[in-house]
Structure 1
Amino acid sequence: MALAASLERKRLESVHSGKSMSITWKLPQYIVLAASEVFNIIGHLEFFYNQTPDTMRSMCIALSFLTISLGSYLSTLIVAIVSVTTRGGQTGWIPDDLNNGHLDYFFWTLASVTALNFVAYLACAKSYRVKKVLVED
């Protein structure tokens, strides 16, 4: 999200100076986002497969996917909250014409929420105890 915010700031600067910017500048952020999603989902599945009781594996993996869907709903809520910035005749952060808005502020907001989520993750990970897996020879 920080990469997207930085790129959006650069895009807005180029638009306001009358220059155009190639869409290929977006490729690095999409590659980073796709790679993080892939590694995250694989890590979730591996964690739930190894660390949950055998009788609860499928339910825990399903709960993992449920958290991803809840994250999508949370994203919708964040967009709705950010839409408040359009009140009072202001263009807001996400107007119809993105050249007049501040999509970079929105990306920085998402980066901040992600950083807070990471801090919460670290707090949970610190108190986590690994399940001992016995391997039969």
Structure 2
Amino acid sequence: MGEVKNYPTLSRPCFGHLASFHTSLQFLHLNFRAHTTLFGPTRRTLKKFTKLKDLYITTNLIYPRSGVGIPNERSLVDFLPGNIEKLTLVDCSTSQSTINALGAGIIGLSVERGKGLFPKLIRPIVEQFSHPAMEDL
């Protein structure tokens, strides 16, 4: 009999608590290096965080664990505020569709940077997270 894997759940509305800091928050470190199941209304944008300069985030908070669908080149463009300076994305997925979605998002971000959006953003950093417990997922 196969092992049943339970993933921790993380409510998307919990990000709503950050909203009260959208005009002052400059550094945000969201390190959820675990498989999570996201639930609740879709709210995947930091656009209103007008002072945010430095974002460190695991990709599972941007892209769902499954059902990513067609890779969207606007995924990061629509997620990030225009004043972002440093972006570190930690890819902790094992899903090819999530990896493809991340790649498309980075391409879209690069295209928009070429058009003058995100003028302060240095080259995004993508880290690959690997953990032995995640290899068999």
TM-score, with structure 2 as normaliser: 0.26
Between Structure 1 and Structure 2, the one with more strand by share is: 2
Name the structure with the higher helix share.
1
TM-score by length of structure 1 reads 0.26
